[in-house]
Amino acid sequence: MAKEEPEEIDFELDLDTELVAEKTPEEAEADLEFELEDVDEEEIKKEVAETVDLGHQADQIEKEEAVKVKKRISTPVLVVLIIALLTGGFYGTYMALKSMNIKIPFISNLVKPAVQDEAGNLKIIAFDIANKFIDNHTSGKLFIISGKVKNGYSGTRSFIRVTGKLYAKESVLSKTSTVYCGNVLSDQDLLNMDMNLINKRLLTPLGDNKSNINVKPDKLLQFMIVFPAIPDNIKEYTVEVAGSSPA
């Protein structure tokens, strides 16, 4: 087998290339001095000043454009969000706005769930709760809960009522009774009256001497709840405001 010869790569030399003669140090220094003499110092300062001024102008234009972009973006985006609220995804968009701490007048109030007070019990306060037992001549042992309510509304209220609840072990509801405030019986009445008469008195909407009508703001009103024949397993009781009506 014949031995393979390596491929030859030809290099062409450009004979027309102009050869530059190397200058002596003295000649180079003389050329430099000549070039410097032709340079106008004032012209250089002017060009530098113009360059710096152009740089400042470019920075200012960039800042102004950034502000314009922000203004162009913010308003349309807000409009789009409002349209989204009105056309669909209402609650989800509202929550997204809320997470970004963006509040839109009217929309925020519209979406925000309002506190319901249809019963008129949110601003009636029950306090000074007490209890006792009395042996009624006909109905046996009675469990009596008494206390006061305060009208916390800014206007007058009427027909304020409260509910008492008795609970057995493990918070099992055993008995409940709702009465109108302003009806209070003496111990003598509780001893001698039968339960029908007692309930009739306690369920009078007007209250004693019409005390449960036009109850002014911050005015106090007494109440009494009577339970007959309570079970032996009663462990606790609660009192809550059942409602009232605007006067």
What pTM value is reported for the model?
0.57
What are the residue ranges in the chain where pLDDT is below 50?
1-21, 34-37, 48, 52, 66-73
- Provide the edge-to-edge strand list for the sheet that holds 124-136: 124-136, 140-151, 220-228
Residues in Cβ contact with 208 at an 8 Å cutoff, skipping those fewer than 6 apart? 182, 183, 184
Total structural domains in the chain?
Answer: 2
Mark whether 69 and 100 lie in a shared domain: yes
Tell me if residue 147 falls in helix, strand or coil. strand
Assigned domain for 1 exists: no
Residue 139: the pLDDT is 93
* pLDDT given at position 246: 94
Q: Are 160 and 181 in contact (CB under 8 A)?
A: yes
Give me the pLDDT at residue 100, please: 62
What pLDDT score does 16 carry?
Answer: 46
Q: Containing domain of residue 81, as a range?
A: 41-111
- Do 158 and 185 reside in the same domain of the chain? yes
Look at residue 228 in the predicted model and tell me its pLDDT.
Answer: 96
At residue 116, the pLDDT reads 83
- Domain ends where: 111, 140, 162? 111
Residue 6 maps to a domain: no
In contact, 122 and 144? CB cutoff 8 Å: no
Asked if 137 and 189 touch (Cβ cutoff 8 Å), the reply is no
Same domain, 145 and 92: no
pLDDT of residue 93: 58
State the Cα–Cα distance between residues 207 and 219, nearest whole angstrom. 14
Check whether residue 138 and residue 241 sit in a common domain: yes
pLDDT at position 6 is: 43
163 and 238 in one domain?
Answer: yes
Distance of CA 15 to the CA centre of its chain: 87
**Is 19 within the bounds of a domain?**
no
Q: Which pLDDT belongs to residue 247? A: 87
47 and 158, same domain (yes or no): no
Question: Would you call 191 helix, strand, or coil by DSSP?
Answer: helix
